[in-house]
Amino acid sequence: MSTAFRNIKDVPKEEYLAPGHRLCAGCTAATAIRQILKVAGRDTVVVSATGCVEVATSYFPQSAWKVPWVHVAFENTAAVASGIESAMKALYRKKKTTERVNIIALGGDGGTFDIGLQALSGALERSHDFIYICYDNEAYMNTGVQRSSATPYCAATTTCPPGKMSSGKRTEKKDLVAIAVAHNIPYAATATPSYPFDLMNKVKRALDVEGPALVHVLTPCPTGWRFDTDSGIDIGKLAVLTGLWPLYEVVDGVTKLTVQVPKREPVKKYLEIQGRFKHLKEADVAEVQKRADMLAAKFGLGPVREQVQA
């Protein structure tokens, strides 16, 4: 396998997520999982927390996974992954096998930000050699769009509906990568399947590194974010181009931007194509823009492009 993914020729042709899974049409989480598994290859164990991907890919008696796959409850994804890693270590020690195995723990934003956070924190602290991937669709989409602590400011969900007194969720999204970096882990990064080579390079680096790694992947969800099924990839790109989802990696505590945005798009462009932000007033949009500006200043993104008046 080549060390870096620069163009389409570097991407392995093998598929490890079979077609026929029951994820919604246009689900970018499936795109992300396909790209991740292409990098990881066949010597991989996937531990998957309850969530959209888990439910939709393991419809008994069928399974979409072509790699060994364990289903676990919401709260113990990282704990089971640490167990598998320790078991592999015991096998190496007893000389039962020499094969190196990639261990991937996969959780949604509910299973990572809310329910699985203590197990994740424990596993990162114990420094197990595994990679944790959080596919973040910014709410509990599997059970019908309830708010999670990954839901962004002002987004509407069924449990934080907008109305006269409220404009959706009032609080900000948790900074998962910062939480992970606070454990002094060697590698953490943000990614999105809209930038496939960036995502695949990050997963490759995360797999290569000794010790725990975390990749936080933004996966736009047509059902919960309320947009057309064909726009998922474009919305992921807009999230990056507006500065709301800066793509960076933190290697041994040093933050490095991987995709620079010289001219940012105004956040209005990102908000107006999603139904969950349909209720926003001018003041709310200005507030979101302010938050994007703060993120941009933190990561050194470019200034906002002047809006061309038609």
Residue ranges that bind another protein, judged by CB under 8 A: 8, 11, 13, 15, 17-31, 34-35, 57-67, 193, 196, 222, 228-234
57 exposed, middle or buried (CB, 10 Å; 0-12, 13-18, 19+)? buried
- Gap between the Cα atoms of 201 and 36, Å rounded: 10
Shortest distance (Å) from residue 193 CB to another protein: 7
Amino acid at 219: T
Shortest distance (Å) from residue 296 CB to another protein: 26
Nearer to another protein, 106 or 117 (CB): 106
Q: For residues 222 and 249, is the Cβ–Cβ distance under 8 A?
A: no
Nearer to another protein, 142 or 167 (CB): 142
Shortest distance (Å) from residue 177 CB to another protein: 24
Paired tokens of 181: 């970096």
Nearer to another protein, 59 or 92 (CB): 59
Nearer to another protein, 14 or 175 (CB): 14
Nearer to another protein, 114 or 234 (CB): 234
Shortest distance (Å) from residue 166 CB to another protein: 32
Nearer to another protein, 26 or 107 (CB): 26
Nearer to another protein, 43 or 125 (CB): 43
Shortest distance (Å) from residue 108 CB to another protein: 16
Cα–Cα nearest to 152, from 109, 181, 115: 109
* b/e burial code for range 81-95 (CB count within 10 A of at least 16 → b): bbbbbeebeeeeeee
Paired tokens of 22: 């029951």
Shortest distance (Å) from residue 224 CB to another protein: 15
Shortest distance (Å) from residue 16 CB to another protein: 8
Distance of CA 302 to the CA centre of its chain: 24
